[in-house]
Chain A
Amino acid sequence: MTADLQATSAPPNGGLGDQEAPAVGRWLSWRLPFSPWHLVLVPLSFLLLVPLLWIVITSLETEGEANHFPPVLVPAHPRFANYADAWAAAPFGQFFLNSALVTLVVLLSNLIVCSLAGYAFARIRFLGRGALFVTLMATLMVPFQVTMIPVFLIVKWIGSNVWDGLGIDHIGALMLPNLATAFGIFFLRQFFLTIPVELEEAARVDGTSRIGVLFKIVLPLSLPALSTLAALTVLTSWNDFLWPLIVITSHDQMTIPLGLSYFQGAHRVRWPILMAANVMSLLPMLLVFVGAQRYFVQSVASTGLKG
């Protein structure tokens, strides 16, 4: 269902089609070489993008141009040095590296741990399965604010009793509480249940172990579901703010959103440099999003519409 969202050629099978354009539009289309809907959609898209376009413009202005009213819409000489200045003013390289590392570990862990558990819940009958599943799923209802104070205390305890790399003010603390999610387990279990069991049975008869069946048969068939879960996990992890704000204070351990917020506090009214930092912070996720848009779209649609 959601794959249609991408297809440029999908038939307009809901809402108002081209032929039902308003009367004025119908009159226009008679003499326009394109659909009158473009006259609605171009300004609409532009309006939605104005906030992003505006920070790109500001990031190329001098401070004199930015602190001018009415605003200078086109900088006289685009000042790319703002980006170098922002990069030099805070350890953005380190922020990116930290964000990438946290996201990568959280992503891999979620894919593996949720696959194992999701498969067990889908295919293996074991003592206490039903009760365990319901208990794990109950955590989906708990807002993060309820658990964050105890999680802070638990992470602090782990940091001082197990390994300080996982404790307060280390990026390990950003990974640890997010290594597995109940949603990931639920989502993959639902998908595994749709795979015909006969495929797995044939392999089992041939003597393949359960783990072998999971990795050689089930997971390769589940790539769409795994990609969707991956998109959701990457987006959530990359943009997470409240938890990093609570556990991280050292600059060299900050992720991008936290680093950007710290940078904003330090350079509050130097708009061009702040906007250059903002554009840099946005770029990686924006590129990933546009490149893998299909999976992000599916991840949204699958969060709730299946229910």
Chain B
Amino acid sequence: MSGNDVSARRPRVGGSDNLTGWALVSPAVVLIGVFGLLPVLMSLALSFQKSDLLSPETPWVGVENYRKLADDPVFAEAIKHTIVFTALFVPGTMLVGLLVAAAMNRSLRFISVYRTAAYVTMAVSTISEGIIFLWLTDRDYGLVNAALNAFGMPSQAFLASPSQALFVIVAMTIWGWTGFSVIVYLAALQGVPAELHEAAAIDGASAFTRFRTITVPMLGPANLFLVVWLTINALQLFDEVYVTTRGGPLRATTVIVYYLWDRAFVHFDAGYAAAMAYVLFVVIVVITALQFRLSRRYVHYS
């Protein structure tokens, strides 16, 4: 790199050196500039245009796309489905993660085997996960229906049912994120000082009281991280819907990003999809900011 001879004359590590500095960051700047920053601006421009991704003509249409969006009943439905999904998926994943982590936060023989069983769902791709749950919840031959029947309950249509499909997607996505949330909670639980528990035990606090008054408050940062991270991911749900229901049956699982993809890459209405993407962007930024703001009151960093 051209910066070497210049920097060799000033052998200070924290020193200033424009040429070397820019030479070292330039590959990253070019790559992130072209594929990360430029597209943000292009997308904004696109949301005020009409584009079919193919023809070079992309006439400006002003706020037309946004106005159409406001009146689009399918988009309204997609927002509703996304909210329902997020409202169930985020607390569900946190609860499962916390319970499993609490059970696995002890030194036992084979504990690493148990933990691996929990972590491993992280390695399963969303597509594999979707296919697994299609089969598990199959209306005619699925294992879940066999289990229901064994307990005297009737078989369900699950992913084939407009009233159940979204909930099945919630369940499979929670399973897929179990490894992630268990890792986060285990790390947090191991950060709880043992002395606090011992002191409280000496004072006669029961195990449950200690869990509620010592462990839970110490989990604040982990909770905040999971709420933010899981919400961001929940609002971007796509893969599981694509592979299991393609937004159906009767659009019951059409979530925002699925509808966006459908508009842009199935119906080639890219300007409209870009407007949708910007709405999603603003929503994610606002929700994240709100979560951080609220957390200031409840989260304590020791």
Residues in chain A within 8 A of chain B (CB atoms): 1-2, 4-6, 8-18, 20, 34-35, 37-38, 40-42, 44-46, 48-52, 54-55, 58, 66-71, 113-114, 116-117, 119-121, 123-127, 129, 132, 135-136, 139, 141-154, 176-182, 185, 197, 200-201, 204-205, 207, 209-211, 213, 235, 238-239, 241-242, 245-246, 256-258, 260-261, 264, 271, 274-275, 278, 281-282, 285-286, 288-290, 293, 296-297, 300-301, 303-305, 307
Contacts and interface: CB of A to CB of B under 8 A. Distances in A.
Given A150-B42, A179-B31, A296-B119, A5 B131 contact: no
A125 B239 contact: no
B149 interface: yes
A293 B119 contact: yes
10 contacts: A12-B107, A14-B192, A127-B18, A143-B232, A146-B40, A149-B274, A178-B35, A246-B261, A275-B131, A300-B122
B157 interface: no
A204 B13 contact: yes
A44 B114 contact: yes
Given A12-B106, A15-B105, A147 B39 contact: yes
B4 A210 contact: yes
B175 interface: yes
A289 to B, nearest CB: 4
Contact of A126 (B16, B40, B265): B16
B186 A5 contact: yes
Given A8-B111, A11-B194, A51-B129, 9 more contacts: A1-B187, A11-B107, A15-B102, A41-B104, A123-B13, A197-B14, A241-B239, A290-B116, A304-B229
B10 to A, nearest CB: 9
A149 B29 contact: no
A11 B190 CA distance: 9
Contact of A209 (B4, B102, B116, B188): B4
A235 B138 CA distance: 29
B76 interface: no
Interface in B2-25: 3-4, 7-8, 11-22, 24-25
B128 A282 contact: yes
B143 A257 contact: no
Nearest to A6: B112
B180 interface: yes
B16 A13 contact: no
B15 A124 contact: yes
B193 interface: yes
B7 A209 contact: yes
Contact of B38 (A150, A179, A275): A150
A145 B280 contact: yes
Given A120-B24, A275-B135, A300-B184, A14 B191 contact: yes
B103 A41 contact: yes
Contact of A125 (B14, B36, B108, B120): B14
Which of the four size classes fits the interface of chain B? 35 or more
Nearest to B246: A265
Contacts of A8: 107, 109-112
B53 interface: yes
Contacts of B78: none
B128 A281 contact: yes
A55 B16 CA distance: 58
A235 B281 contact: no
Contact of B243 (A12, A35, A211, A264): A264
Nearest to B36: A139
A260 B242 CA distance: 13
Given A143-B281, A146-B281, A211-B1, A125 B21 contact: yes
A178 to B, nearest CB: 8
Nearest to B41: A150
B27 A117 contact: yes
Nearest to B104: A41
Interface string B26-58: 011101101111111011001000000100000
Interface in B48-94: 53
A37 B28 contact: no
Nearest to B4: A209
A300 B183 contact: yes
A95 B228 CA distance: 34
A289 B191 contact: no
A240 to B, nearest CB: 9
Contacts of A141: 284-285, 288
